Amino acid sequence: METTNKCENRNHRSKHLILGLLLVAAGVFYILKNVGILSAFASSIIFSWQMLIIAIGLTWLVNHKRTPGIVLIIIGLVYLAPEFFNLPVNFFEIFWPSLLILAGILIIFTRNKHNFAHRHSHTINNGSEDYVDDILVFSGTERIITSQNFKGGKIITAFGGSKIDLTNAALADGINYLEVICAFGGVELYVPSDWNVKIEVISALGGFSDKRYMINVTVNTDKTLVIKGVAAFGGGEIKSFKR
């Protein structure tokens, strides 16, 4: 417990340090702009929405959120490229291929991450899985999982979609993690209304929301499903069937 608290304190201090440095840098650049030292071109770059995205990405990268951090940095750099380079083609002619490259990078960087699903997944008697491990590129899938000891897993969608029905499944005890990467794709999860679900998905021109039917429902807090990951030009929804 003491070790955990120390790690949390270090992460908390790190976040404050990065935020403080970014604010100091923004203030310094703003002064340089106001006194005429900073050129109009440099000002337009530094105080642009692209640079804001890059700054957020760097913050996440420093705080060990590598995948979403890299995604945001790449998005910011891609949109800044036309400002620095006289591209021989129209920017939007290379935009969609660049997004394909981004989707590929997402898959590469998450290929070996959280590979517990490969090592530990197994099939129980009714044929359902305790872990889900889907990588969907230009494809889609629909699955019904009825595991009574569901422990999460990993779902990656790139220009594809995943629909998973967990209505008749049960969570394993404790905290279970489901990592989702949505790059121009979507994830649709049907989850029992009494599941304790926490969404920690970082969105970049995307989103992930809980739209379950939650009226007169008692949530079981002894078992938790934490959905982590990133939604870049994609997203997901958690739904439930009305009783």
Is residue 235, in this structure, part of any structural domain at all? yes
Judge whether 186 and 162 are in contact, CB under 8 Å. Answer: yes
Q: Do both 121 and 205 map to the same domain?
A: yes
Q: Do both 125 and 228 map to the same domain?
A: yes
Q: Do both 84 and 126 map to the same domain?
A: no
Q: Do both 151 and 48 map to the same domain?
A: no
Enumerate the H helices of 39-184 as residue ranges: 40-46, 49-62, 66-84, 91-110, 116-120
pLDDT range class, residue 97, cuts 50, 70, 90: low
Is residue 103, in this structure, part of any structural domain at all? no
Is residue 93, in this structure, part of any structural domain at all? no
Which is nearest to 182 in space by CA: 119, 120, 140?
140
pLDDT range class, residue 224, cuts 50, 70, 90: very high
Rounded Cα gap, residues 197 and 227, in angstroms: 7
- What's residue 65's pLDDT? 64
* pTM value > 0.85: no
Q: Is the pLDDT of residue 15 over 50?
A: yes
- What's residue 54's pLDDT? 83
Mean pLDDT for 80-89 is 70
Q: Which residue shows structure tokens 């969907």? A: 136
Lowest mean pLDDT among 23-27, 87-91, 231-235: 87-91
Is residue 136, in this structure, part of any structural domain at all? yes
- What's residue 202's pLDDT? 78
- What's residue 93's pLDDT? 63
Q: Do both 11 and 121 map to the same domain?
A: no
Backbone angles phi, psi at 214, to 5 degrees: -115, 15
pLDDT, tens only, 171-202: 999 999 998 888 778 899 999 988 999 998 87
- Written as six digits, the tokens of 109 are 């960087």
Q: Is the pLDDT of residue 153 over 50?
A: yes
Q: Do both 74 and 131 map to the same domain?
A: no
Rounded Cα gap, residues 59 and 53, in angstroms: 10
Helix (H, G, I), strand (E, B) or coil at 140: strand
- What's residue 126's pLDDT? 39
Q: Do both 84 and 129 map to the same domain?
A: no
Q: Do both 121 and 233 map to the same domain?
A: yes
Which is nearest to 191 in space by CA: 161, 216, 219?
219
Burial of 181 (0-12, 13-18, 19+ CB in 10 A): buried
Mean pLDDT for 217-240 is 86
Is residue 34, in this structure, part of any structural domain at all? yes
Strand ordering across the sheet containing 174-183: 131-137, 152-158, 174-183, 220-232, 195-204
- Residue range of the domain that includes 7: 2-88
Q: Do both 43 and 144 map to the same domain?
A: no
Is residue 213, in this structure, part of any structural domain at all? yes
Q: Do both 158 and 206 map to the same domain?
A: yes
Is residue 65, in this structure, part of any structural domain at all? yes
DSSP letter for 172, please: P
- What's residue 73's pLDDT? 80
Q: Do both 66 and 172 map to the same domain?
A: no
Rounded Cα gap, residues 57 and 74, in angstroms: 9
Considering the chain, what is the average pLDDT of its residues? 76
Angle at 139 between CA 202 and CA 198, to 5 degrees: 30
- Classify the C-alpha dihedral 189-195-201-203 as positive or negative: positive
Q: In the chain, at which residue ranges do the beta strands (DSSP E only) sit?
A: 131-137, 140-144, 152-158, 161-165, 174-183, 186-190, 195-204, 207-210, 220-232, 235-239
Is residue 41, in this structure, part of any structural domain at all? yes
Select from 73, 88, 103 the last residue of a domain.
88
Q: Structural domain tally of the chain?
A: 2
* 65-77 residues labelled b (16+ CB within 10 A) or e (exposed): bebbbbbbbbbbe
Q: Do both 127 and 206 map to the same domain?
A: yes
pLDDT, tens only, 46-61: 888 888 878 877 877 7
